[in-house]
Amino acid sequence: MCDRRFRIYSQMNNVRMVAIALILVIGNQVLVPSWAQNTNTTQKETYVGDAPADPGEIAKDVSGALRPHAIEHVVRKVADWQLSRAQSHFNQDWTYAALYRGLIAASRATGDNKYEDAVKHASEQFEWKLGPRIAFADDEAVAQSYLHFYFKSHDPSMIAPTKAAFDQTMSAPQDVEHQDAAKPLWWWCDALFMAPVAWVELSTATENPAYMDFMDTQWWITSGLLYDPKDSLYSRDATFLDRHEANGQKVYWSRGNGWVLAGLASVIETLPANDPRRPRFIKQFQQMAERIASLQGKDGLWRPGLLDAGAYPLPEVSGSAFFVYAFAWGLRNGVLDRKKFLPVVRSGWKGLTKHVYADGRLGSIQPIGAAPGAYGPSASYVFGVGAFLMAGAEVDAFVSTTHSQAVLH
């Protein structure tokens, strides 16, 4: 019988809050109890990743070049590795919802439907249901996959549970698990990736503008609380508004801002082209993109604490991948300046590929948490892999639509 023990991952610093992610380890697999994270309280312990002491060698057959063949090769390599390990654990949690976005994107990039088919099969097994908590963004994240499949088949059963849950939320938009009326519905910045795009897409699917209006209202309530226009960055939640790094700078979590920037790209892409709300979202996207690009490390990646990079020994791949995804999306859609952001994407993608191991493992991913924390080079978690696959597919799409390869190199 496997030895069971608890590990506490923390970033220790005398002047910063200790960020703790409590992880249950069974063998070399990491299982996260529901009470240790923002996840379904009724859900059984779920595999989300691991961090073996010996992950093997870094891949030698991977290139960070901005060429379709090279990009598609590494996307396939990482997707195959993750699918083989995670498919039997598929569930409706936010951790896997991010992976599903990545797997669907991997099928688009590689032309291999097996990744998307795996997500569709799981969605059917879930009977297209969300997580159990009403009005909780983490439990709505899986709706992004359901809506993807709905737009391909227009089968109303695929979105019926989502519509029912969203209707209930609109009728009483108070987070049922957090009854403090001073807190907005989406009180943590990660929520801006989890829920908003599904609200926009449901509005399109049902031709009901109420869902889009609701999303718009809730987004800017959250932004008003957590977004600092001077720094052009989001605090993770209100408890971080006055927390500081060892160097005196405010604590801005890399992955938290990655969730937001990727959420902005997704919302802008799904809003109708003539929607009068688009310019406001684009403005915030551009402001954040400028600031985040200025914080890129020499290795092309970002550290877990954005304004105190020197305090963290390793780059953080999940946040970095969300940034690269958003920047590549911005370039492909003409929202970001090519001269300024193409070098950021080139360096960022190259940096990400350096954390792929020979077997396809993607490392240097911070475990579940709410602030900059500690992890090792082998640490791999499904949500970070999802972000990487999204980034690879978006970089591939951008490269494939750029006619002159000379411009890219």
Annotated catalytic residues are 190
Is the CA virtual torsion 334, 104, 344, 365 positive or negative?
positive
CA distance 356 to 37: 26
H-helix or E-strand spanning residue 8: strand 4-11
Find, among 376, 248, 226, the residue nearest to 305 by Cα: 248
CA distance 388 to 256: 15
Please count the other Cβ atoms lying within 10 Å of the Cβ belonging to residue 179. Answer: 8
CA distance 335 to 351: 23
Angle value at C-alpha 13, between 20 and 324, nearest 5 degrees: 65
> In what order do the strands lie in the sheet containing 380-381?
4-11, 19-26, 29-32, 46-50, 380-381
The residues with which 32 forms a beta bridge, in sequence order, are 46
Find, among 362, 374, 283, 385, the residue nearest to 330 by Cα: 283
8 Å CB contact between 25 and 45: no
CA distance 114 to 92: 19
Report CA dihedral (220, 224, 229, 234) to the nearest 10 degrees.
-90
H-helix or E-strand spanning residue 30: strand 29-32
CA distance 255 to 369: 9
- If you count DSSP H runs as helices and E runs as strands, how many of each does the chain have, helices first? 14, 7
> Amino acid identity, residue 77?
K
CA distance 173 to 243: 29
Residue with tokens 């696959």: 389
